[in-house]
Amino acid sequence: DAGITQSPRHKVTETGTPVTLRCHQTENHRYMYWYRQDPGHGLRLIHYSYGVKDTDKGEVSDGYSVSRSKTEDFLLTLESATSSQTSVYFCAITEVIGANYYGYTFGSGTRLTVV
């Protein structure tokens, strides 16, 4: 795709364990976002980043943390996974330079199952 990859693609984990999902981009975009998608809820923003070490919470941030130590990587950590965090997780990137807005590009998603 347009230089954004998510890993792993699928993961099954046990309740109570920490889990880290990775989003890697090669576009040098400042803005990165983590979403979850569940039936009946659409896409909900978890956390986002507007630069290295600059992050903020979205609408469903409880139980999640993020880190961005370099432009290309945005990590999402489930501190202690619960069954309610079973979901499909999408990463997205965008950039704005002057008046030019590049639009969103999404990764292929990570399907996480917490058992």
Partner 1 sequence: KQEVTQIPAALSVPEGENLVLNCSFTDSAIYNLQWFRQDPGKGLTSLLLIQSSQREQTSGRLNASLDKSSGRSTLYIAASQPGDSATYLCAVPHSNYQLIWGAGTKLIIKP
Binding site residues, partner 1, CB under 8 A? 31, 33, 42-43, 45, 48, 50, 56, 58, 90, 92, 94, 96, 101, 103-109
Planar angle of CA 15, 21, 27, nearest 5 degrees: 165
Contact 106, 4 (CB under 8 A): yes
Closer to partner 1 by Cβ: residue 16 or 50: 50
| Nearest distance in Å: CB 50, partner 1 | 6
d(C-alpha 47, C-alpha 58), whole Å:
5
Closer to partner 1 by Cβ: residue 81 or 89: 89
Closer to partner 1 by Cβ: residue 19 or 89: 89
d(C-alpha 16, C-alpha 53), whole Å:
27
| Nearest distance in Å: CB 18, partner 1 | 25
Q: What is the DSSP letter of 85?
A: G
